[in-house]
Structure formats: C-alpha cells, structure tokens
C-alpha cells in the first residue's frame, strides 16, 4: 500500500495544473476578445475618407453656386459644410480621438482643419457676396489635402495597430493551443494514472481479502497439522442423523510426547504430530460429519456421531491402535502410545464444549491410572475428580491444622519375635469427610507438590516420637520420589534429627522403586548423602510396578521390603515364595535385610520363618496405630519376646474370628 502514497500528491499537482490552465485560458480568451475589440476600434482608415468626400462636395457646390447662382447649390454647400463640421466633431471621440492623440502631426492638422472650417463660418452665412465664395474656396483649398494626410496617417496607424493585434491574436491563439494541449495531456495522464491506481487498489483489495481469509483460517486452524483448533471444534458440531443418535467427543493425548520432544528435538516432535494427525484423520473419515481437531500440544479430539457408546469406544480404540503403529520420521522409527477419554450425549442441546471438558476429564483420569487406555466419562468420574480437587484444596491447610498425624506399624524380627522397628504411616482426618487413606491423598499431594511439606512434617514427627520407643527400635518414614527429586529431603532430615536429638541410625527412610526409575543420577546422589548422614535406607514395595533386580545392586540398601502381593497366595502358589527366596539370596550378597510386608496369618508367618526372612510387617503382627498404642504394644512384646509373639498371634486370630 505504501508504494501508492505518491498518488494524492500527484492528483493535487494535476488538479492545480488543470486549475491554472483553466484560469489562464479564461484570461487568454478575455485578452483575445479585447484584441478583437481593439482591432475594430482602431480600424479608422475609412473614417477620414468620408471627410475628404464631404469637403470635395462642399467645394463642388460652392463652385457651381458661384458659376450659376442657383440657391439650391448654396443650400447644398451649406449642408455639406455642416456635415463636415459634424464630421470633424465626430473625429474627436472614440478610436479616432485616440489615434489623433497618438499622432501629434495629425492632431495639429486636425486642429488647423477645425480652425480653417470655423474661420469660414461668417463667409458661409453670406454666400451672396462673391467675395465670400472666393474666401471660402480659398480657405477650403488645402482642406482636401489635409484631410487626406490625416487619413493616410490614420490608415498607417490602423495597419500598424492591426498588425500588432494580429500578432497578439496569433500569440494568444498559440497560448490557447498550448493550454488546451496541456489540459488534455494532464487529463489524459490523470486518466492513465487513475486506471493504474485503480488496478493497484483492486490488487490491494484482493490482498487484504486474502489476508483476512488467512486470519480467519488461522483463527480456526492449527497451523502445524492443518486440523481445526480448539476454538473451531465446538462450531464444527453438526446435527446428528436419525441413525446416529449419539454425539461423542473423544479426547486423545499422546503418552510421553514431552520425552520425544526433549530427546529428538521440536522439529522431530512437530513431524510426529503431523503424522499422528493424518492417522487420526484416516481412522475418522472426516467427510461424514466427523471432525478431528488438535486441541494443543499433543492433545487431539474427535467429534463423532455414533449409534451407541460402544461404537464410540471402538472408534477410540481404533484411533489408539493407529497411533501405536511405528512412525517413520527422519529415517527413524518411533512408537508412541496415547490415552483416550470419551464423553457422549444423546442430547443435541448439550454443546460440544461441555462434552469436550467431560472427555478431557475422562482422559486425564485414564492417564493418571492407566496410560494407553480408553476411559468413558460418567457422573461417578466427575465425583471422583471433584473429590480429588476438594482433597487437593483442603490438603493445603491440613498440616497446619494438625489434621495429619502419623500412625506407626511395628516391624518384627521373624527369628526372635522382637519389635525391631516401626513404620510411620500418615493419617488424615478430614473435618467433614472423616479418615482419608494415604493411598488416596498421598498421590494427590505428590501431584500438587504438597508432599514436600507433608513429608517434612512426617520426618519431624517420626524423629520426635522415636524418642519414646526403646533405643533398639528404628523408625521408618516413607519418602516420595518428589521429595528426592526436589533435593530438600537432606536438609529436612538433618533438621528433624537435630531438633529431636535423635541419633541418625535410628531413622530409616523408605523409597519405592519408582525413585530408581527416574533419572538415576539425581536420586542416587541424594540417597548417598542421606546415607552419609547416617540414616538407613530401605527399598520399598519391591516387586511391584517396574521391578528390576538391578535396582537391588545399583545402590547399597540396608533393607529390601518385599511387597505384600507376594504373600497373598503363598498357601496355594509357590511362585511368590520362590521370588522371596531369590530376593533373599541377592539381599544376603549385598548385606541388606529383607522385610516382608502384609503378613496377615500365622501360616504366612511360619512359611516366612522357613525361608529365613529377617523381618515381618503386617496386620497379623500389628496394625498401624497412634504412638501411645504402639508404645504399649512394644512394651508388651519386647520383654518376653517368644511368649509374647505367640500370645499376639493368638490374639490376632481371635480378633479376626470375632469380626
Ligand atoms: P506402604 O509404604 O507400602 O505402607 C504399607 C501399607 O500397607 C500401609 O497402608 C499399611 O497400613 C498397609 N498394611 C500393613 N500391613 C498390612 C496387611 O497385613 N495387610 C494389608 N492389606 N495391608 C497392610 P497405608 O497406611 O494405607 O499406606 C498406604 C501407602 O501410602 C503406603 O504404602 C505409602 O506408600 C503411602 N504412605 C503412607 N504414609 C506416607 C508418608 O508419610 N509419606 C509417603 N511418601 N507415603 C506414605
Ligand atoms: Ca513403606
Ligand atoms: Ca510398602
């Protein structure tokens, strides 16, 4: 647009030129008219001629009167005398006067002429006298020549003036001509430039329209994949047909896409997203009123019209299957999985935006619990999520309000029956919802980061409460992977030990395998520092999740806690026992003790004793309880260990049968 900025100036110049031409032209036309008028005024040559004829007539009639004495001739002579006088008077006005004034000689002749004619006036009134006639004739004698002389001068003057006027006219005509040409040229240039400008304007207009179209497109499309974006998604909804009563929204989120981006770079990630978008489009034939959109990042959504919910589920499964096939990108083959959430409605009024939110909720739930799966939104799910949000919110002030307290569960030496340790387990008593299991609130606290404060608090409580236990009883506290990754745990532990005045060897920290799963350098560094501090370290929940025997040897553990899952079918299934025995062998080699969790029966206890396991923990031995109760429990067991253990076992069996 900028390149046409000269046009207004140009138009102004042309208009000014045209204006000047018009004014000049008007002036020239006026000048021409003046010149023509002058030419007429100055054509005085013929005026003098009349005077000459009248003077001759006067003389002729006077001569005839003198010769023949006829009164009629005297009258005629008198008439021509009067005419001649009038003629002379008429010379003294207008163009002839101007001429006379311009020529001193003629003026002088004119005045002489007048004097002569006036001088004969007395004689003219007395023509009967012969002397009068001769006086008049004598006086008139030079008059003809004088009139002729003035006439000749007038003719010369008129001719000169006419030539000058003709010259002026010619010049004015030339100027007029140039002005007309200039006006025509300016108008022509103006026309051409306008046409050019018009074309430019049309182009600019087209450009603006194209830009507007592009903007509109970008506002509703994802530039990377070309799919509709989140804004456009709900608008894309179309009325369902009679056969396909349900509107379904499937939200799909790629699993571990961030890792791919971080490892392979964003360009690679972009290509993967484009390829994923094409696969989703292939599964969902978008021609049939279905829509695939990219919501942002690695999140996609499909809007489907389906017969029933199972059809929506099938479609979602097919989309996940399609994404699971290896992608060939930049010569590398990558595989990726995805998690889906579905929300459906038969109610045409419910808009796609709400469905999208519901499907998104289902998706994030699925992602939290089972990556790669398809979850369907329902009311229960909303309640779960709402409860979680409430817990997350209330958890913020739970520590401050003393709603979280530790319970302790004893750990017993399987050989001697003595209590050798307790495990601190967090308990949350919610003011409205009552007791909340750590299995529920710990993951929430981990996700929101509040686990750091809770963990710190638990370590402090455990160190303080440990002082109430016999000096040979260790207290174990669970550490979350988040605490370890944040790196504050070292300081928190040291502070708690100092504040309580507890010897470090009485504290044991339990971490799960997931700690080892993460980038191994950071956790191992933190764990080594903790070990350096003097606290013991236990590998918790061994055998669940992503078990790897290498975790046993990667770090020097003081204790390995075998998950209670291995104890569950010990009576019928010998595999669990074999695993315990295998772990035992490895543990012996690394100098770690083996703790078996979830001991619920006497039989399990006997079997474990047979394997040579070191320590047992479970409801059969003691349930988690407040510190006072645990102190009492330990006092009861430890003084006379074997007898007490036997007594406890019997008591537990009795408890269960009476339940
Ligand atoms: P965990 O560390 O494996 O703790 C053992 C869990 O097993 C406890 O559940 C305990 O009550 C339960 N348990 C003990 N004996 C038996 C038995 O004989 N049978 C059965 N079925 N269960 C038994 P709890 O207290 O609900 O804790 C659940 C999980 O919450 C813990 O698993 C631990 O991972 C986590 N947790 C609890 N307190 C804390 C804490 O202060 N910090 C962190 N980071 N995590 C904690
Ligand atoms: Ca534990
Ligand atoms: Ca455990």
Task: Give me ligand 1 centre to Cα 565, in Å.
Answer: 13
- The tens digit of pLDDT for each residue in 490-527 reads 999 999 999 999 999 999 999 987 777 656 678 888 99
Task: Give me ligand 1 centre to Cα 585, in Å.
Answer: 26
Return the higher-pLDDT residue of 140 and 465.
Answer: 465
- The tens digit of pLDDT for each residue in 202-241 reads 999 999 999 998 888 888 999 999 999 988 886 655 555 5
Task: Give me ligand 1 centre to Cα 513, in Å.
Answer: 15
Q: Which atom of ligand 1 is nearest to the CA of 483?
A: 44
Residue with the smallest CA separation from ligand 1 atom 46 is 478
Task: Give me ligand 1 centre to Cα 525, in Å.
Answer: 26
Q: How far apart are CA 241 and CA 307, in angstroms?
A: 10
Q: Which atom of ligand 1 is nearest to the CA of 597?
A: 15
Q: Which atom of ligand 1 is nearest to the CA of 617?
A: 15
Q: How far apart are CA 603 and CA 598, in angstroms?
A: 12
Q: How confident is the model at residue 69 (pLDDT cuts 50, 70, 90)?
A: confident
Task: Give me ligand 1 centre to Cα 414, in Å.
Answer: 20
For the cut 60, the answer to whether the pLDDT of residue 656 exceeds it is no
Residue with the smallest CA separation from ligand 1 atom 14 is 618
Residue ranges around ligand 1 (CB below 6 Å): 409, 425-426, 437-439, 442, 455, 458, 478-480, 540-541, 564, 598-600, 618-619, 624
Q: Which ligand is nearest to the CA of 411?
A: 1
Task: Give me ligand 1 centre to Cα 624, in Å.
Answer: 9
**Per-residue confidence (pLDDT) for residue 310, from 0 to 100:** 94
**Per-residue confidence (pLDDT) for residue 173, from 0 to 100:** 83
**Per-residue confidence (pLDDT) for residue 348, from 0 to 100:** 63
User: What's the rounded mean pLDDT across residues 622-644?
Assistant: 83
Q: Which residue's entry shows tokens 């392979």?
A: 264
Average the pLDDT over each of 54-63, 82-91, 429-438, 650-659 and give the range with the smallest value: 650-659
> Where do the DSSP E strands lie in 311-417?
327-329, 332-334, 338-345, 374-376, 404-413
Q: Which atom of ligand 1 is nearest to the CA of 451?
A: 44
Return the higher-pLDDT residue of 37 and 407.
Answer: 407
Task: Give me ligand 1 centre to Cα 426, in Å.
Answer: 8
Residue among 436, 438, 481 to mutate when testing ligand 1 (max atoms within 8 A of CB) = 438
Residue with the smallest CA separation from ligand 1 atom 11 is 624
Q: Are 624 and 408 in contact (CB under 8 A)?
A: yes
Q: Which atom of ligand 1 is nearest to the CA of 619?
A: 18
Q: Measured in Å, how far apart are the chain's first and last C-alpha atoms?
A: 88
According to CATH, what is the number of the domain 396-658?
Answer: 3.20.20.450
Task: Give me ligand 3 centre to Cα 220, in Å.
Answer: 50
**Per-residue confidence (pLDDT) for residue 633, from 0 to 100:** 95
Adjacency order of strands within the sheet including 246-254: 291-296, 299-306, 246-254, 338-345, 374-376
Residue among 403, 436, 441, 442 to mutate when testing ligand 1 (max atoms within 8 A of CB) = 442
Return the higher-pLDDT residue of 81 and 238.
Answer: 81
Q: Which ligand is nearest to the CA of 409?
A: 1
B/e letters for 363-391, b = 16+ CB within 10 Å, e = fewer, are bbbbbeeeeebbbbbeeebeeebeebeeb
Task: Give me ligand 1 centre to Cα 411, in Å.
Answer: 13
Average of per-residue pLDDT values in the chain: 87
Q: Which ligand is nearest to the CA of 442?
A: 1
Residue with the smallest CA separation from ligand 1 atom 29 is 439
For the cut 90, the answer to whether the pLDDT of residue 184 exceeds it is no
Q: How confident is the model at residue 658 (pLDDT cuts 50, 70, 90)?
A: very low
Q: How confident is the model at residue 644 (pLDDT cuts 50, 70, 90)?
A: very low
Task: Give me ligand 1 centre to Cα 420, in Å.
Answer: 18
- The tens digit of pLDDT for each residue in 583-629 reads 899 899 999 999 999 999 999 999 899 888 999 999 999 999 999 99
**Per-residue confidence (pLDDT) for residue 653, from 0 to 100:** 46
Residue among 405, 452, 478, 621 to mutate when testing ligand 1 (max atoms within 8 A of CB) = 478
Percent of the chain with pLDDT over 70: 91
Residue with the smallest CA separation from ligand 1 atom 3 is 541
Handedness of CA 634, 636, 641, 644 (dihedral sign): negative
Q: Look at residues 114, 132, 115, 131 and name the one whose alpha carbon lies nearest to residue 123.
A: 132
For the cut 90, the answer to whether the pLDDT of residue 373 exceeds it is yes
Q: Which residue's entry shows tokens 């003081």?
A: 558
For the cut 80, the answer to whether the pLDDT of residue 536 exceeds it is yes
Residues with CB under 5 A from ligand 2 (ion): 478, 510, 540
CA distances from 486 to 491, 571, 579 (A): 11, 42, 33
- The tens digit of pLDDT for each residue in 265-311 reads 999 999 999 999 999 999 998 777 788 999 999 999 999 989 999 99
Q: How confident is the model at residue 643 (pLDDT cuts 50, 70, 90)?
A: very low
Q: Are 576 and 570 in contact (CB under 8 A)?
A: yes
Task: Give me ligand 3 centre to Cα 488, in Å.
Answer: 23
Residue with the smallest CA separation from ligand 1 atom 20 is 598
233-377, what's its fold? Alpha-Beta Plaits (3.30.70)
**Per-residue confidence (pLDDT) for residue 236, from 0 to 100:** 54
Residue with the smallest CA separation from ligand 1 atom 43 is 478
Q: Which ligand is nearest to the CA of 438?
A: 1
Q: How far apart are CA 250 and CA 331, in angstroms?
A: 31
- Give the predicted TM-score (pTM) of the model: 0.60
Task: Give me ligand 1 centre to Cα 425, in Å.
Answer: 6
Q: Which ligand is nearest to the CA of 479?
A: 1
Residue with the smallest CA separation from ligand 1 atom 28 is 439
For the cut 90, the answer to whether the pLDDT of residue 174 exceeds it is no
Task: Give me ligand 2 centre to Cα 511, in Å.
Answer: 7
**Per-residue confidence (pLDDT) for residue 1, from 0 to 100:** 46
Domain parsing of the chain, residue ranges:
12-182, 233-377, 396-658
CATH number belonging to the domain at 12-182, selected among 1.20.120, 3.30.1460, 1.10.10, 3.30.70: 1.20.120
Residue with the smallest CA separation from ligand 1 atom 8 is 425
Q: Are 599 and 580 in contact (CB under 8 A)?
A: no
What is the distance of C-alpha 90 from the center of its chain?
95
Q: How confident is the model at residue 146 (pLDDT cuts 50, 70, 90)?
A: confident
> Where do the DSSP E strands lie in 35-181?
none
Task: Give me ligand 3 centre to Cα 295, in Å.
Answer: 39
- The tens digit of pLDDT for each residue in 419-428 reads 999 999 999 9
- The tens digit of pLDDT for each residue in 235-259 reads 655 555 556 678 899 999 999 999 9
**Per-residue confidence (pLDDT) for residue 265, from 0 to 100:** 93
């Amino acid at each position: 647009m900028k390149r046409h900025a000269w046009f207004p100036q140009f138009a102004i110049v042309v208009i000014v030129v045209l204006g000047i031409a018009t004014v000049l032209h008007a002036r020239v036309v006026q000048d021409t008219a003046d010149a023509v008028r002058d030419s007429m005024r100055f054509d005085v040559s013929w005026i003098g001629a009349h005077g000459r004829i009248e003077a001759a007539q006067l003389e002729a009639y006077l001569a005839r009167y003198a010769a023949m004495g006829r009164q009629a001739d005297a009258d005629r002579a008198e008439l021509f005398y009067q005419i001649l006088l009038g003629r002379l008077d008429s010379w003294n006005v207008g163009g002839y006067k101007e001429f006379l004034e311009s020529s001193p000689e003629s003026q002088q002749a004119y005045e002489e002429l007048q004097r002569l004619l006036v001088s004969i006036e007395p004689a003219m009134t007395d023509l009967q006298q012969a002397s009068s006639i001769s006086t008049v004739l004598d006086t008139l004698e030079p008059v003809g020549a004088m009139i002729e002389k003035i006439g000749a001068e007038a003719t010369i003057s008129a001719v000169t003036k006419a030539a000058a006027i003709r010259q002026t006219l010619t010049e004015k005509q030339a100027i007029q001509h140039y002005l007309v040409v200039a006006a025509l040229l300016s108008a022509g240039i103006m026309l051409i430039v306008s046409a050019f400008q018009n074309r430019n304007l049309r182009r600019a207009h087209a450009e603006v329209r194209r830009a507007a179209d592009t903007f509109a497109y970008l506002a509703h499309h994802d530039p990377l994949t070309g799919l509709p974006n989140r804004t456009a998604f709900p608008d894309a909804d179309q009325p369902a047909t009679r056969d396909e009563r349900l509107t379904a929204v499937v939200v799909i989120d790629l699993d571990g896409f961030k890792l791919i981006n971080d490892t392979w770079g964003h360009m690679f990630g972009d290509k993967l997203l484009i390829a994923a978008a094409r696969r989703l489009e292939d599964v969902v034939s978008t021609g049939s009123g279905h829509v695939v959109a990219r919501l942002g990042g690695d999140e996609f959504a499909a809007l489907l019209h389906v017969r029933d919910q199972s059809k929506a589920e099938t479609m979602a499964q097919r989309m996940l299957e399609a994404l699971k096939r290896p992608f060939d990108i930049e010569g590398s083959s990558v595989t990726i999985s995805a998690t889906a959430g579905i929300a459906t409605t038969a109610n045409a009024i419910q808009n796609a935006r709400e469905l999208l939110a519901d499907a998104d909720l289902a998706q994030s739930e699925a992602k939290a619990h089972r990556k790669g799966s398809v979850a369907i939104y329902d009311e229960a799910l909303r309640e779960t999520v709402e409860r979680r949000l409430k817990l997350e919110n209330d958890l913020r002030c739970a520590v401050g309000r003393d709603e979280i307290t530790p319970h302790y569960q004893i750990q017993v030496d399987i050989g001697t029956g003595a209590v050798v340790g307790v495990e601190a387990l967090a308990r949350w008593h919610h003011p409205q919802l009552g007791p909340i299991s750590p299995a529920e609130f710990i993951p929430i606290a981990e996700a929101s980061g509040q686990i750091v404060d809770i963990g710190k608090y638990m370590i402090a409580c455990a160190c303080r409460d440990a002082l109430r236990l016999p000096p040979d009883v260790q207290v174990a506290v669970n550490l979350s992977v988040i605490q370890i990754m944040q790196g504050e745990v070292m300081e928190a532990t040291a502070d708690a030990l100092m504040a309580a005045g507890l010897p470090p060897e009485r504290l044991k920290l339990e971490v799960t395998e997931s700690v080892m799963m993460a980038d191994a350098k950071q956790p191992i560094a933190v764990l080594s520092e903790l070990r350096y501090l003097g606290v013991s370290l236990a590998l918790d929940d061994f055998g669940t999740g992503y078990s790897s025997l290498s975790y046993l040897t990667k770090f020097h553990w003081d204790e390995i806690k075998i998950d209670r899952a291995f104890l569950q079918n010990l009576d019928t299934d010998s595999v669990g026992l074999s695993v315990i025995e295998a772990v035992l062998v490895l543990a012996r080699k690394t100098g770690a003790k083996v703790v078996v969790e979830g001991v619920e029966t006497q039989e399990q206890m006997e079997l474990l004793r047979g394997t040579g396991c070191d320590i047992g923990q479970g409801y059969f031995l003691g349930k988690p309880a407040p510190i006072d109760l645990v102190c009492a429990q330990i006092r009861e067991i430890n003084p006379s260990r074997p007898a007490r253990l036997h007594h406890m076992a019997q008591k537990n069996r009795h408890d269960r049968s009476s339940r």
